[in-house]
A and B are shown apart, each in its own frame.
Chain A
Amino acid sequence: MLALFYLQFQTVINRLKVRLKRLKKPKYLIGGIVGGLYFYFYFFRFWFRVGQNPRASFQISADHVELVEAVAGCALLIIVLLAWIIPHGRAALVFTEAEVNFLFPAPISRRTLIHFKLLKSQMAILFTTLLLTFMIGRFGGGGAAWIRALGWWIILSTLNLHFLGSSFARTMLLDRGIGNWQRRTVVSLLVAAFAIGVFVWSKQTVPNLNVADLTNISTAKEYFRAVTTSGPAPYLLYPFHLVVRPFFAVNGIQFLLLLWPALIVMLVHYFWVVRANVAFEEASIELSRRVSERVAAVRSGNLQPRPKKAKGAPFRLKPTGSPAVALLWKNLIGAGQMFSVRVWIILACSILPTVFVFSSSGGRTQGPTLIGFGCIMVMFWSFMIGPQLLRQDFRQDLPLADVLKALPLRGWQLVFGELLAPAAILTGIQWLLVIIAAASLTYLPGIGEVTLSWRVAIGFGAAIVLPMLNLISLIIPNAAVLLFPGWFQTGREGPQGIEATGQRLILMLGQVLVFLLALVPAALGFAVVYGTISYFGQTLVAIAVASVTASLVLAIEAGIAIFVLGRIFERFDLSSEA
């Protein structure tokens, strides 16, 4: 066991050393500073300030403690029940592949491996405890932070032990021929029997709750308190109350008094887990392999899980023609069935009747106006969120940068081809939103009726500009990948922690800034053309022509950016980024 403790200890120490050593590089140092400032201003500031001000202690009055404890106990009960109902596999502990290779063949007992696993999970629990304690401080809580921290630690550790113990019990049941559905049925029946018991008891003893009472929060709270604190419910909730109570202690002495029952529950769980002699090795190897693959994929920037099923091609790719189209084709396959031609046809077929209904309803009805504004809001958000969600471009392919470098393509062809798929998907989504918005916004508060010709003109203008805006919005994160590849998680050992948070914040702010700057020439072009043509009274024509102008300006910007990025990719030295 000492060797395993040594392994865990050294892993933590070495990881910290690597992190600290990395701070010598400006990109990590700056990221670390920005991340630190973010955490300070978002969490620590409130926490420390609260610490100095005892009046701002955890905001639960004595009257409510019982109720909140009951709620917390119920929540814990539900989590525990789900752990018995939902899982279907055999017990499997997550180890790294290295741990599997070193420890499983080693002369180490199963019990020691469980202890090692518990030790490892304590790292995650301590981190979560810290985060939750900070969050409590951030959102108006606080009080004695150490009580909250220890309270969280007890809850999380007990839950962790229970999950482990229930997985062992599940495996033992499976070994004895009791299948998942049999187990689920028994658990569900027990839950149902208990729920019926509580219901019958509350029906007889607690004043009935009318629907009208639900509008009165204090009546509803009183009813819930009565149901959970008297009759059969407290007996079932008792062990859960024991676990959550230390968290709600108002001072150190009360905490110590509430601590020992919680520790007994935890110890009972501990002995349950370590005394279970369940074969978890085989399932653990498989689980560890899957987790390693997932972690490697995420760290290499690929947030999508590895595909399990082959996907059809979005269109037939001819062997000759622009190579950029091959990259579009490839990345659309990578985007999955969600963005296949069939999905677009289904979407269009379902949206067109809606559009017809909205446009024919007319008048000052609120629903279509709200939907129209909602669509416009989503469209604006899509410029920021879309490029983060749709990563079927360089960000997805950067781990295969050596393959891309070996292709006989100009840099600009690669960049252009890589950007096409997410740009096409985003544009498709936005065009649908434009159609819905144009059909819905027949009336604008403060303006009045909006005629069909106006809606068509504005919709057309938006449809013309959107593809170029998407291209620009996608160029920015891709440019960041090529210009600052070290800031992205391109390898198995990508940046993590505060410095990574800081890096992401810097990149996000940079993206917003560059996007706004890129809009300036297009907006100027739009304004000049619109002003000139509308001067002669052709407002609707002005919108369309000005939109085409803005689109052209954006296309020129995008073209220049793609060409420059292409040159950068051609000179991109993979070896210096390794």
Chain B
Amino acid sequence: MIEVEGLTKLYGEFVAVSDLSFTVQSGEVLGLVGPNGAGKTTTLRCLAGIIPATRGAIRICGFDVAKEPIAAKRQLAFFPDEPRLFDYLTVAQHLTFTARIYQVPNYQEIARPLMEELEIIDKVNLLPGELSRGMKQKLAIACGLLHSPRVIFFDEPLTGLDPIGIRRMKHSIMNRAREGAAVIISSHLLHLLEEVCTHVLIVKGGRKLIDGPLEEVRHKYAEQSVDANLEEVFFRATSEPEARP
């Protein structure tokens, strides 16, 4: 579903992402982990076709993001850390607009249960300015899921959500994966990733440090017989001695 080969992104002379390769299959949830400035958001933005990769190839459901961007974008949804909404469109108008852009003929049948699931059904006539940050996040998610994407990218999806919202979001992510979507989540909340991810990719300085199924990675970084948790894996992989207890 998601194939990345030699992805490199340069900002002038600064290397944000360097020769990154990985794949995510249908039903897999990949946790993208790394310290600040590791290139996680840049990677996701390249995958979503928002910024062009300097080098390398990205295929979404078989469509090359650089060569067939429209076909690739139809298959994906990208949720940035900060919900990006139009100030002057209400919740309902956002969904109507998104439906037309993605050509979803029966969008109302999809939108209603989605809004119920995300608990924004009673906010349909409100503007983003009248919503809390969590509600804005939910609206962005409702818009993103309206066209039933097969590939989903989350950049810090739990920021601003309350505990109930976090639980619902986790279930929602896992449900999407169970339904066959390939999901990538970038987050610093390692315990969350441990709960929802099947695979993990740790990056630092734009380079891949580890990539593989979560269990394998845990086992690989286990110091003795017991498997390491993702936090320990992260610290050992990124080799930050000051972070060690």
Chain A residues at the B interface, C-beta cutoff of 8 Å: 302, 306-311, 313, 317-321, 323, 325-326, 329-330, 333-334, 336, 400, 402-403, 405-410, 570-571, 573-576
Contacts and interface: CB of A to CB of B under 8 A. Distances in A.
Contacts, number: 96
Contact of B90 (A302, A310, A570): A310
A321 B88 contact: no
A318 B103 CA distance: 9
Given A306-B129, A319-B103, A405-B50, A329 B97 contact: yes
A264 to B, nearest CB: 48
B45 interface: yes
B105 A320 contact: yes
Given A319-B107, A333-B88, A325 B50 contact: no
A308 B127 CA distance: 8
A323 B100 contact: yes
B88 A319 contact: no
Contacts of A336: 88
Interface string B1-42: 000000001010000100000000000000000000000001
Contacts of A410: 70
Task: Give the residue among A318, A319, A336, A405 with the most B Cβ atoms within 10 A.
Answer: A319
B102 interface: yes
Given A409-B70, A573-B51, A321 B87 contact: no
A408 B101 contact: yes
B146 to A, nearest CB: 10
A406 B78 contact: yes
A110 to B, nearest CB: 31
A309 B90 CA distance: 9
8 contacts: A308-B129, A311-B88, A326-B101, A405-B49, A408-B69, A409-B70, A573-B51, A575-B45
Given A319-B99, A402-B45, A410-B70, A307 B88 contact: yes
Contacts of A306: 87, 129
B70 A402 contact: no
Contacts of B97: 317, 326, 329-330
B52 A573 contact: yes
Task: Give the residue among B9, B97, B100 with the most A Cβ atoms within 10 A.
Answer: B100
B84 A576 contact: no
Interface in B27-80: 42, 45, 48-52, 69-71, 73-74, 78, 80
Nearest to A321: B100
A307 B127 contact: yes
B52 A310 contact: no
A310 to B, nearest CB: 5
Closest 3 CB pairs of A and B: A326-B100, A408-B73, A319-B99
Contact of B69 (A308, A402, A570): A570
Interface of B: 9, 11, 16, 42, 45, 48-52, 69-71, 73-74, 78, 80, 84, 86-90, 93, 96-97, 99-107, 125-127, 129
Given A320-B105, A402-B50, A575-B11, A334 B86 contact: yes
A460 to B, nearest CB: 33
Nearest to B12: A576
Task: Give the residue among B9, B45, B50 with the most A Cβ atoms within 10 A.
Answer: B50
A318 B104 CA distance: 10
Nearest to B125: A310
A406 B100 contact: no
B50 A406 contact: yes
A333 B96 contact: no
A532 B9 CA distance: 59
A313 B97 CA distance: 11
A320 B100 contact: yes
A130 B205 CA distance: 49
B101 A317 contact: no
Contacts of A333: 88-89, 93
Given A306-B129, A334-B86, A406-B73, A313 B103 contact: no
A329 to B, nearest CB: 7
B60 to A, nearest CB: 11
B202 to A, nearest CB: 23
B100 A325 contact: yes
Contact of A323 (B42, B101, B106): B101
A317 B87 CA distance: 19
Contact of A406 (B49, B96, B103): B49
Task: Give the residue among A308, A310, A318, A400 with the most B Cβ atoms within 10 A.
Answer: A310
Contacts of B103: 319-320, 323
A576 B80 contact: no
Given A330-B93, A334-B88, A400-B84, 7 more contacts: A307-B88, A307-B129, A329-B100, A330-B89, A405-B51, A409-B101, A576-B11
A575 B90 contact: no
A318 B78 CA distance: 24
Given A306-B87, A307-B87, A307-B127, A319 B52 contact: no
